[in-house]
Amino acid sequence: MEINSHYTDRANGLGFSVENMDPSADAAQDFYRFAAGRWLDQTVIPDTEGQINGFKRLYLLVNQQILALLHHAAENSVHAPKGSVEQQVGDFFASAMDTQRLEELGIAPLQPEFERIEAIATPAELATTVAHLMSISGSPILLTPYVLADRKKSDVNTLGIYPGGLSLGNRDLYLNEAYAPLRAAFLEHLARMLQLTGISDAVAAQQAQTIVDLETALAQAKLSPVEASNPETTYNKMAVAELQAMIPHFELGTFFARFGLSTDQEVIVSEPDYVRALDALLVERPIEDFKVYLRWMLLSGTAHYLSPAIAEANLDFFVKKLQGTPELLPREQRVAAQIQNGFGHPVAQLYVKEYFSPETRAQVSDIVEQIKAQFEARLRTNPWLDRPTRAFALDKLRRMVIRVGQPEKWIDYSSVEIRRDDYLGNVMRLNQFDITRNLAKAGNPVINDEFAIPGATLPTDINAAYQPSANKIEICAAILQPPFFDPTLDAAVNYGTLGAVIGHEMTHGFDSIGRHFDAAGNMTDWWTANDTEEFEAFTNKLIEQYSQYEALPGVYVNGKLNVTENTADLGGVVLAFNALKEALAGQPTPDKIDGYSPEERFFIAWAQLWMSKERPEVLKLMISSDPHPPSEFRATGPLVNLDEFFTAFNIQPGNRMWREEAERVQIW
Ligand SMILES: [Zn+2]
């Protein structure tokens, strides 16, 4: 197998380069333009994407790396022992690429499930069927059980009850007048998809309206993203009997039974008002409406795994229309992404063997230690923390667990039957395995799976993540490549990218959410009243700063929604910059590289990490629901709070980038 294990492509913008800069721009007036102007001028968003940036480019590269592994596995899986990673991954991929068989099958694989839905006659049958469909499709429908460490008793797993998902993902899309045209397009899309299941145009149009009405009511009942991020309001612990009293028209007994869950336990309900609203809908609306809805949720959750015609009809709306993307990625790339996400650990096992080296792990672990030492030193000399809070913070940082690259122990999928001729069946069996495995943890001591959250912490994800209830950071193997980390470049660049990303994750332990959790991951208040007041004064300044940024004409950044990420970005930059200063201290002044000092390169590298272009559709969605602000403001927002930034580029009062000293904020 021929795969490049080390790949840098600076000319294409994957990584730091002075070629990305616009030297004619004035750093003091428009730093983003100065650091990334040429890249912004020359980069075109590919027809298959809603945005393009370092994350996306690396994602596409990793997708290609995985694709090569999948092809290789599919060629060899026939000879591999049944249940081995090679057999399972290879046959899974082969089943997905057998498009002739998938076309022949068409909608047929869903027929038994449609019949099951049609047969629902009682509330008990409705509850069982919802549970069944969730188990096989993996989609959260109406009411979602999921087990996590108890936020207030972090060594025990507790069953959480969450709202179901919305087809459009984002509640705003149902409620905000500005999205009316999109809703109209969604209605048409629903009708088209329902027709593909063999029902008449007229009935399909009627059912589409029912689905939109029902989802709009569900959207109204949900918390906004800002409200949902409050760890106190979403912690409502109660007996199942109490939950049942809130939703008397949904039989929790049969619902729990289908999942293999006992009703004799306490659950944490994230949104009680949603539960009550769902109950009201179950009374107001005929059971037929819910059957229509379940058909759709099943279809949309499994469309990817049916015939290419059905899969593409669905993506036509969700990718092209919703993100304004003219073209779909080739099927094999889409399949690679699905398998990477849905069969995470087995694919990751193949990935790290090929693309993640012990050297990288050692180098990154070293940067982690330096950033951590810097954080500790800053906590000791912190000018605003009272003594008890400081001691607690130091203990929390010391006990923070940081894992680099991959888990010690992989999840064992060998018992799941993966067949070469059954794509949908493979997916359904995997979903069933994952959900059963998760729910079986309820009430048991926490033994955390590592690197196991699809789309967030798989070793193949382009991400690093802090988990408050475990006080743990996982830095995925796939992110340890350019533009995030490049051992061939100078320290200033690597501190300005990966160093700041690590500092960002550490700071999440001390942001507006993380600060509510202690060293063991329990939600407790370990702050003096005085320190809480000081902290909130700082974060209010950050909210104010970012709320002034105009992302699109008349559309401003939601400083409240973004406050945790902005706190983390600021912390990350401050920690990494000071760690760099410390690493350079006592050494002879390094030569300029490409004409820039280490300080300058640090700030340019940070800004280049966030250079990005988005289609307006994507940007609008980000502003309304993404906890991160748009990239341009990630690039410059933290920097204008550092005195050293103004010094490095000789930025003076009156310059556009200038920020008065009294307005600058540093929290950690
Ligand atoms: Zn973050």
Q: Tell me how far apart the alpha carbons of residues 180 and 469 are, in angstroms, rounded to a whole number.
A: 39
Whole-number Å distance, alpha carbon 263 to ligand 1 midpoint, is 36
**From the CA of 463, how far away is ligand 1's center (Å)?**
9
CA of 634 to the centre of ligand 1 (A): 11
464 Cα: distance to centroid of ligand 1 (angstroms)? 8
| CA 627 to ligand 1 center in whole angstroms | 8
Is there a contact between 598 and 526 (Cβ–Cβ < 8 Å)?
Answer: no
Residues, beta carbon < 5 Å, ion ligand 1: 565, 568
Going from the Cα of 450 to the center of ligand 1, the distance in angstroms, rounded, reads 18
**What does the H/E/C string look like for 249-292?**
CCCHHHHHHHCCCCCCCEEEECCHHHHHHHHHHHHHCCHHHHHH
* Cα 262 to Cα 602: distance, rounded to the nearest angstrom: 54
Which segments in the chain show pLDDT lower than 50?
1-11
- Residue 567 C-alpha to ligand 1 middle, in angstroms? 9
Give the integer Cα–Cα distance in Å for 384 and 392.
14
Q: What is the DSSP string of 169-195?
A: S-THHHH-GGGHHHHHHHHHHHHHHHH
pLDDT at 211: 98
CA–centroid distance, 482 to ligand 1, in Å, is 19
pTM above 0.75, yes or no: yes
Tell me the CA–centroid distance for residue 368 and ligand 1, in Å: 16
Provide CB contacts within 8 A for 584, sequence distance 6+: 491, 590, 598
**C-alpha 498 to ligand 1 mean position (Å):** 13
The pLDDT of residue 2: 31
d(CA 488, ligand 1 centre) in Å: 26
Pairing relationship of beta strands 472-476 and 401-405 according to DSSP bridges: parallel
Q: How far is the CA of 317 from the centre of ligand 1 (A)?
A: 29
Token output for 230? 């409050």
Q: How many CA atoms lie within 13 A of 518 on its CB side?
A: 15
Tell me, what's the pLDDT at 591? 87
- C-alpha 231 to ligand 1 mean position (Å): 16
Cis omega (within 30 of 0) for bond into 272: no
pLDDT value of position 13: 56
Q: How far is the CA of 123 from the centre of ligand 1 (A)?
A: 42
Q: How many A from CA of 20 to the centre of ligand 1?
A: 25
The per-residue pLDDT for 510 is 98
Distance from Cα 503 to the centre of ligand 1, integer Å: 10
User: What pLDDT shows up at residue 14?
Assistant: 77
- Expressed in angstroms and rounded, the spacing between residue 405 Cα and the centre of ligand 1 is 17
